Amino acid sequence: MAPYFWLQPAVTGAAAILVLLGAGLTIRQRYRADRKDQWWKRTQWAFELLLTSDEDREVLGLMVLEQQAAAKAADKEDSAFIAEVVQPVVDAYMQTDDTEVVPPSDGAESTTTDAEERPT
């Protein structure tokens, strides 16, 4: 019998612990990768909403991007990327005034005729 036979259970136990740690790290890494992948898919969807001509969808896209920048799956680089891309869009959106101001009608119609409109 080998003089170190009493070490065999300890070595086997240590190997089992290392295998469990490796499996745990693999599962954790896979979980993070899946979360990051889903985060990126939602971010792409939100950017696509910004490219539509529907104002409601554009606003929804901006709201989703705001949430995506604050999400746990987003690291500092991702949040900075969104801020750099979205901020100019938000600024342009806020400066654009597509609304047409129509003065209230008081019921008085214009009484000009064609003869009055033509220069003499």
Give alpha helix (H) positions in the chain.
Answer: 8-50, 55-70, 76-95, 114-117
Closest CA to 93 of 63, 55, 66: 55
pLDDT in tens, 18-36: 999 999 999 999 999 998 8
pLDDT in tens, 24-72: 999 999 999 998 899 989 989 988 988 888 888 988 888 888 888 888 8
Q: Could you tell me the pTM of the whole model?
A: 0.58
The set of residues, in sequence order, having a beta carbon less than 8 Å from that of 48 and lying 6+ positions away, is 61
